[in-house]
């Protein structure tokens, strides 16, 4: 699924224009990005959480020359799936339906 597919689904499920749905998706992604930049955790219960993880500095190897290089420490975004998402993907335990899924005929 692409961002365009997500916008189309939101527009049809919520009976919004594609322009409005696109604006909502952009705002949502922007807010998640800004929260992660501040080092905050973004919890979308029961879907999952976006977190910032710290990677330690380490030694690596240049695959072309075999030379040892130092890779600096850095922060990376990560996603931790919630229980209902894990159950929905694995097909075990039966995930609960979302409000949008309940409204569909």
CA dihedral (89, 14, 3, 45) positive or negative: negative
SS3 14: coil
Tell me which of 3.10.129.10, 3.30.450.40, 1.20.1050.10, 4.10.520.10 is the CATH number of domain 3-103.
4.10.520.10
Each residue's pLDDT tens digit, 33-64: 999 999 999 999 999 999 999 999 999 999 99
Each residue's pLDDT tens digit, 69-104: 999 999 999 999 999 999 999 988 655 566 555 565
Contact between 32 and 39 (Cβ < 8 Å): no
Confidence of residue 2 (pLDDT cuts 50, 70, 90): very high
| pTM confidence score | 0.74
| Mean pLDDT of the chain, nearest integer | 91
CA dihedral (34, 36, 41, 47) positive or negative: positive
């Amino acid at each position: 699924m692409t961002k365009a597919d997500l916008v189309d689904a939101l527009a049809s499920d919520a009976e919004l224009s594609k322009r409005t749905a696109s604006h909502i998706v952009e705002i949502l992604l922007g807010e998640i990005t800004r929260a992660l930049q501040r080092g905050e955790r973004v919890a979308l219960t029961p879907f999952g959480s976006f977190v910032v993880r710290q990677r330690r500095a380490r030694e690596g190897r240049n695959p072309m020359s075999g030379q040892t290089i130092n890779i600096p420490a850095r922060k990376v975004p990560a996603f931790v799936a919630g229980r209902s998402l894990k159950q929905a993907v694995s097909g075990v335990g039966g995930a609960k339906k979302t409000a949008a899924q309940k409204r569909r005929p």
